[in-house]
Amino acid sequence: MSDEENESLKVVKTMAANGILGRWDIVKQYVSDDLVMHLPPGLPFGGDYLGWEGYLQTFKELGAFFTDLKSGEQEFACHGNKVIVMASLHGRIAKTGKPISFPITAIWTVEDGKVVDIVPFYYDTKTICDLAAE
């Protein structure tokens, strides 16, 4: 692995490990002021979230839409300054209580030791929306 890939992977793994534990003071130092987090537009909480406040807002939105949301084991792959994170999410749709489980992949872009872009790919946004509408 190149130095750039090692550094990018270190940043993303540090953010993931500390974010799960709510250690936002550690996570914040790795979030660029120019961060753009692109959530799928087909989801009720979809759209672009900007900077640190946007990063935190995505978790508020996810917490309002899902309950008991847990991530499965994560796998990582790197290419240059991009880190691909593969995992699965398990929980319930808050509105209906319906259980849901799906794979998710996100591409994180790291520049100068900070995350500048996150693009998550939810496996089946239609099913997520359908379960929320029932």
Give the CATH number of the domain where residue 93 resides: 3.10.450.50
Which residues span the domain enclosing 25?
A: 3-133
pTM exceeds 0.85, yes or no:
yes
> Percentage of the chain surpassing pLDDT 90?
84
pLDDT at 20 over 90: no
Instruction: Identify any residues that bridge with 66 across adjacent strands, giving them in sequence order.
Output: 93
DSSP strand E in 4-73: where?
A: 31-39, 47-50, 66-71
Q: CA-CA-CA-CA torsion for 25, 27, 33, 36, nearest 10 degrees?
A: -140
Band (pLDDT 50/70/90 cuts) for residue 134 is: low
Question: Distance (Å, rounded) from C-alpha 16 to C-alpha 98?
Answer: 26
pLDDT at 92 over 80: yes
Count structural domains, the chain. Answer: 1
pLDDT at 110 over 70: yes
Shortest CA distance to 37 belongs to which of 17, 18, 19, 59?
59
pLDDT (tens digit, 9 = 90+) per residue, 32-74? 999 999 999 999 999 999 999 999 999 999 999 999 999 889 9
Q: What is the mean pLDDT of residues 99-125?
A: 95
The confidence score (pLDDT) of residue 1 equals 87
Instruction: Identify any residues that bridge with 37 across adjacent strands, giving them in sequence order.
Output: 49, 118
